[in-house]
Amino acid sequence: MYASEVEYDQQAALSKYAAAQMMGYSDSAFLQSQARLLLRANRIDDAVRAVRQAAVLDPGNAVLLNVSGLLHQAAQRPMEALRLYARGVSVGAVPLGRGTVQFSFADRRRA
């Protein structure tokens, strides 16, 4: 499953993730990986759903909070992205997205 993701065979990887989920496999690392794959497949809403499920399982995971912020940024949800980045930093995440979000959406405030 993970190998097909790394090989960039999105359809094969998504099929393997779906098969694993049908067998009941679902932890936060699995869902986070699935979310990244869905993002690369331009299935942003599905990616956000997967990362939200992961967050329920592991709400204090700093890396997961950063990934969640990136996904919400990609989904054009800057306020939620900023909130997630701030939560991530509060639990030890590397502050990677705040400036990017502010820069990405700066023109929208003037429009």
Going by C-alpha positions, the residue among 18, 27, 83, 84 that lies closest to residue 57 is: 27
pTM: 0.73
The two three-digit tokens of residue 65, written as one number: 């909070």
- The amino acid at 87: R
Using pLDDT thresholds of 50, 70 and 90, give the confidence band for residue 91: confident
Using pLDDT thresholds of 50, 70 and 90, give the confidence band for residue 25: confident
pLDDT of residue 53: 92
Q: In order of start, what are the domains of the chain with their CATH numbers? A: 2-110 (1.25.40.10)
DSSP state letter for 109 = H
Read off the pLDDT of residues 101-110 as tens digits, 9 standing for 90 and up.
555 555 554 4
Percent of the chain surpassing pLDDT 70: 78
Read off the pLDDT of residues 56-70 as tens digits, 9 standing for 90 and up.
999 888 888 888 888
pLDDT of residue 96: 64
pLDDT of residue 50: 93
Kindly give the interhelix angle for 44-57 and 62-74, rounded to the nearest 10 degrees: 160
Residues with Cβ within 8 Å of 97's Cβ and at least 6 positions away in sequence, in order, are 66, 69, 70, 73, 81, 82, 85
Residue for token pair 């090989």:
7
